[in-house]
């Protein structure tokens, strides 16, 4: 007898991901971003479309997991020291963006007849937030999160996530739902302070030691489990303290980013993140009432354009406060001109408190989803749009000249490391790897080491060696060591099966990379070459050749003849391979 189970959520996931695949496949033919495909799939399968999936709590939970994992991966790419470097950007540009947007939409609410101050303020709250999930995912996918404008955007969005907390607290008070504001603020401040102290202590002392002990076991399962538990535990902790889950996940990523294991962790989290963030975008598309959209298409389109223009202008002002160039400021403004996912959470609180009438809510949903659909297109062609605006858009010649001259000014909110190029990648820091590094130093050739022994990594980091902990077949590790720009890779690890995977991964990211690999036995040479190695050295061959050479030298055979014989012997017989 089969065990009776509720397989509804499983069926919903199959429908969501199946329809998403079909829609994305179609959109990829016309080169549209995948996020648009997920939003469109949500509209198709949702309660206002074909009604294949109900927008129930299970889907919302999976969507929340997607946001948590996305923010966690962003935190992994950052560090506490880097975050401190952009604190000016966080608090100056972030506060300007949030404050000015609230004022702008408060005024707009009065223009449209919603002159009751609490409702007008709340409208400002929901429209001041931008989509962390969409924008940071696109910046992360395109490798732009480390650019100047990417860092300014990240700073503004960090402040927005922080600002969600007081907004959630203030929302009930707008309708008189809180009796003692001072006490609640003190309690919240105490909780936040306790969480931050715990995070700093964990980042400096606890987590690195735990990761070191876990890494010593060489167990991928244990490593992945610890990373996932760390992510959700900190997210839960910050949620209990009154902060958002997403902000907690970002802070958890920051804690692990302080260790040398961050890139390995990012590689393991990536597959989970992609699945769950996909469900999040589908869940957003499911919210849109297509019949309401069609019946009110013109006013909704007008409000969408107006919303994006207002938010873009305010984003430009916030970025320019940091003395970035006009082009960078325009890129920031265009990137954050949508309405964010946390606005949906806040809007539900507002509806419960009577601050968002149902007609406003439907317009809000339609405008928000449309801005999210448009955003991937804007960011995909961001540089082209900004260049056209500054060089071709109608404006006074004197203003255009001033804008072009101001491009010479620069602002870098975070220092970046020198990018590796034409370097050697040394996989494995055993005897062979150490000798190779000595030669590279003598020849002044740039290099980077990838090693799985955590003790070796710690020892070499103390000596300021450019060494990274992790599996060199991990895409995140290859991205971090800039494998695409490397000239030579030498795979010296003793585990031949692992070496096969490393060579295959290296070849997949850099077709021009010259790869030298080590194997133990001659019979493994052909397989290594098939996986992408340019040169393969077998331990048993080199040992036998050394014996062969020393023997022939005793018979006074000329060295050039010994060299010819040796080259002949290096070509294994067909039977051996």
Domains and CATH numbers, the chain: 8-405 (1.20.1530.20), 424-569 (3.40.50.720)
Q: Which residues contact 234 (CB under 8 A, 6 or more apart)?
A: 199, 248, 249, 251, 252, 255
pLDDT at position 54: 64
Spatial separation of the C-alpha atoms in residues 406 and 147, rounded to whole Å:
18
Spatial separation of the C-alpha atoms in residues 319 and 409, rounded to whole Å:
13
- 307 token code pair: 């919303």
Q: How many CA atoms lie within 13 A of 560 on its CB side?
A: 0
pLDDT at position 181: 59
**523 and 493 Cβ atoms separated by less than 8 Å:** no
**132 and 71 Cβ atoms separated by less than 8 Å:** yes
Spatial separation of the C-alpha atoms in residues 106 and 98, rounded to whole Å:
12
Spatial separation of the C-alpha atoms in residues 26 and 29, rounded to whole Å:
6
What parts of the chain have a pLDDT lower than 70? 1-9, 54-58, 77-83, 143, 176-182, 184-185, 188, 242, 392-419, 540-543, 545-546, 565-577
pLDDT at position 413: 46
**What b/e string do you get for 479-514 counting C-beta neighbours within 10 Å, with b at 16 or more?**
ebbbbeebebbbbbbeebebbbbbbbbbbeebeebe
pLDDT at position 411: 45
Q: Which residues contact 16 (CB under 8 A, 6 or more apart)?
A: 41, 42, 45, 53, 59, 279, 282
Burial label for 548, CB within 10 Å (0-12, 13-18, 19+), is: middle
Q: What is the pTM of this model?
A: 0.65
Provide the 10 A C-beta neighbour count for residue 515. Answer: 25
pLDDT at position 567: 67
447-451 sheet: strands from edge to edge: 467-469, 447-451, 424-427, 488-491, 514-519, 535-538
Q: Which residue has the tokens 């760390």?
A: 230
**What b/e string do you get for 244-256 counting C-beta neighbours within 10 Å, with b at 16 or more?**
bbbbbbbbbbbbb
**294 and 77 Cβ atoms separated by less than 8 Å:** no
């Amino acid at each position: 007898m089969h065990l009776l189970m509720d397989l509804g959520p499983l069926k919903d996931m199959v429908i969501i991901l199946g329809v998403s695949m079909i829609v994305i496949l179609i959109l990829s033919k016309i080169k549209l971003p995948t996020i648009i495909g997920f939003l469109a799939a949500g509209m198709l399968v949702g309660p206002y479309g074909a009604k294949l999936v109900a927008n129930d709590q299970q889907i919302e939970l999976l969507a929340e997991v997607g946001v948590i994992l996305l923010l966690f991966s962003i935190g992994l790419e950052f560090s506490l020291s880097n975050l401190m470097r952009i604190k000016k950007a966080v608090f100056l540009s972030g506060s300007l963006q949030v404050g000015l947007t609230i004022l702008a939409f408060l005024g707009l609410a009065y223009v449209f007849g919603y002159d009751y101050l609490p409702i007008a303020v709340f409208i400002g709250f929901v429209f001041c937030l931008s989509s962390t999930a969409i924008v940071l995912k696109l910046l992360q996918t395109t490798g732009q999160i480390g650019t100047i404008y990417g860092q300014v955007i990240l700073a503004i969005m960090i402040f927005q996530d922080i600002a969600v907390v007081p907004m959630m607290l203030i929302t009930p008070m707008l309708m008189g739902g809180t009796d003692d504001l001072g006490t609640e603020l003190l309690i919240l401040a105490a909780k936040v302070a306790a969480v931050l102290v715990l995070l700093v202590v964990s980042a400096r002392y606890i987590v690195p030691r735990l990761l070191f002990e876990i890494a010593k076991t060489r167990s991928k399962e244990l490593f992945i489990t610890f990373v996932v538990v760390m992510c959700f535990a900190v997210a839960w902790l910050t949620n209990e303290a009154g902060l958002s889950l997403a902000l907690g996940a970002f802070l958890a990523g920051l804690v692990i980013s302080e260790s040398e294991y961050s890139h390995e962790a990012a590689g393991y989290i990536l597959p989970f993140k992609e699945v769950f963030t996909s469900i999040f975008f589908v869940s957003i598309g499911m919210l849109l009432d297509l019949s309401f959209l069609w019946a009110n298409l013109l006013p909704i389109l007008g409000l969408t354009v107006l919303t994006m223009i207002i938010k873009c202008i305010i984003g430009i002002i916030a970025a320019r406060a940091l003395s970035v160039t006009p082009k960078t400021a325009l890129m920031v403004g265009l990137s954050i001109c949508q309405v964010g996912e946390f606005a949906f959470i806040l809007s539900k609180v507002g509806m419960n408190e009577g601050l968002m009438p149902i007609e406003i809510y439907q317009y809000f949903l339609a405008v928000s989803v449309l801005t999210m659909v448009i955003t991937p297109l804007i960011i995909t062609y961001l540089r082209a749009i900004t260049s056209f605006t500054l060089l071709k858009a109608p404006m006074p010649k004197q203003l255009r000249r001033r804008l072009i001259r101001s491009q010479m000014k620069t602002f870098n909110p975070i220092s970046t490391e020198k990018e590796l190029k034409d370097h050697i990648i040394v996989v494995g820091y055993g005897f062979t790897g150490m000798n190779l590094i000595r030669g590279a130093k003598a020849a002044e050739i740039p290099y980077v080491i990838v090693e799985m022994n955590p003790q070796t990594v710690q020892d070499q980091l103390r000596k300021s060696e450019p060494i990274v902990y992790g599996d060199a077949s991990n895409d995140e590790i290859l991205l971090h060591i800039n494998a695409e720009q490397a000239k030579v890779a030498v795979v010296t690890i003793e585990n031949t099966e692992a070496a096969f995977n490393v060579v295959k991964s290296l070849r997949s990211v850099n077709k021009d990379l010259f790869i030298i690999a080590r194997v133990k036995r001659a019979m493994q040479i052909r397989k290594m070459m098939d996986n992408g190695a340019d040169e393969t050295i077998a331990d048993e061959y080199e040992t036998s050749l050394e014996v062969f050479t020393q023997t022939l030298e005793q018979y006074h055979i000329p060295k050039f003849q010994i060299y010819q014989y040796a080259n002949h012997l290096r070509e294994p017989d067909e039977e051996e391979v």
